[in-house]
Structure 1
Amino acid sequence: MSQQTPYQLLGDAGIRKLADAFYEEMDAQPQAETIRAMHAANLDLIKDKLYEYLSGWMGGPPIYSEKYGTVCLTDPHKPYPIGPDERDQWLACMDGALERIDASEELKEMLKGPMYQVADIIRNRDTSEPIVQDPNSIPLTNL
């Protein structure tokens, strides 16, 4: 017997619920404050994009790539300092979202490694320490 894809286990409505629950977790988890600040106040557009991405990534219709072309996760995240702490905040939100939608243990186990890989690919720093800018490198304008 062949293993079902995450999309087959959740269905389209389940993928939508997962995307919505992910951002509900981001709003609810105090430890996710850093990554929440990287998003607009209104999360409707990004919820849709996550749903579209997850649909194809989990074995369903490739909505995101049909709509936007190539799926490159690193480019849209380049402007944001994403280190290990931010990666782990993202994973905590996804774990919480899977709990919120009552995902099966089979699905959670199936997604654990791949979700870590996705979150780690987006990481663009080795540390989560704040970026300290040399005050002498800041252009003096409006003087």
Structure 2
Amino acid sequence: MYQSFGGATGIRTLTDRFYDLMELEPKYQALRQMHGEDMTLIREKLYEFFSGWLGGPQLFVEKYGHPQLRARHMPFAVNVQVRNEWIACFAQAMSELDIDKALAEPVLIQVFAMADWCRNQNEDGVEPPMPPMAVDPVIRIPELKNVLKQYGVDSYFSIFPA
């Protein structure tokens, strides 16, 4: 997957576009507000994480140890809106970079499961998060499709099962 996404250059381009969109698009305002003024370090951390997660060099693990995504996000109030903005922003970055849908869609499903696991706010009427591999992530597709539609980034992702 690492090479399919363009190796180091492709992953850097994707993560940079993600953070550029977060700063540019008002629809990602709640997500942006969670981050400090200078996002240089967090840009680098996301690049390092995705490098290893997609099968490339384990840059994040070498620097910081196991990702422990849920624990690392506990200091931040991650609710459904923030999760949704994160996944929509990531989907928009992939679509703008025209990443092959056959690669982008399975990754997006897995990333949605990870993003959901990072939720740490109790919200009325919202089920608590499940660990990413607790269930087949494919069952999350209807919810993911709704999120992408809500943020207007659904048109690129056309091969999800109906």
Q: Quick check: 1:74 aligned with 2:70?
A: yes
Q: Which has the larger radius of gyration?
A: 1
Question: Offset at 1:127?
Answer: 2.4
TM-score when normalising by structure 1: 0.80
Contact 1:87 1:120 (8 Å CA) reproduced: yes
**Structure 1: which 4+ aligned runs deviate by more than 2 Å?**
none
Question: Offset at 1:35?
Answer: 1.2
Q: Quick check: 1:16 aligned with 2:33?
A: no
Give the alignment of 1:1-143 within 5 angstroms.
Answer: 5=1, 7-10=2-5, 11-127=7-123
Q: Over residues 46-79 of structure 1, what are the superposed CA-to-partner deviations in whole Å (9 max), with x where a residue is unaligned?
A: 1100000000111111110011112111222112
Q: 1:136 corresponds to which residue?
A: none
Contact 1:84 1:126 (8 Å CA) reproduced: no
Q: Over residues 5-35 of structure 1, what are the superposed CA-to-partner deviations in whole Å (9 max), with x where a residue is unaligned?
A: 2x12111100011110110111122121111
RMSD: 1.4
Q: Over residues 73-112 of structure 1, what are the superposed CA-to-partner deviations in whole Å (9 max), with x where a residue is unaligned?
A: 1222112211111110000110111123221111211212
Q: What amino acid does structure 2 have at the position aligned with 1:44?
A: T
**Percent of aligned pairs with the same amino acid:** 37
Structure 2 stretches lacking a partner, 5+ long: 125-162
Contact 1:19 1:47 (8 Å CA) reproduced: yes
Q: Mean alpha-carbon deviation: is it higher for 96-105 or for 62-71? A: 96-105
TM-score when normalising by structure 2: 0.72
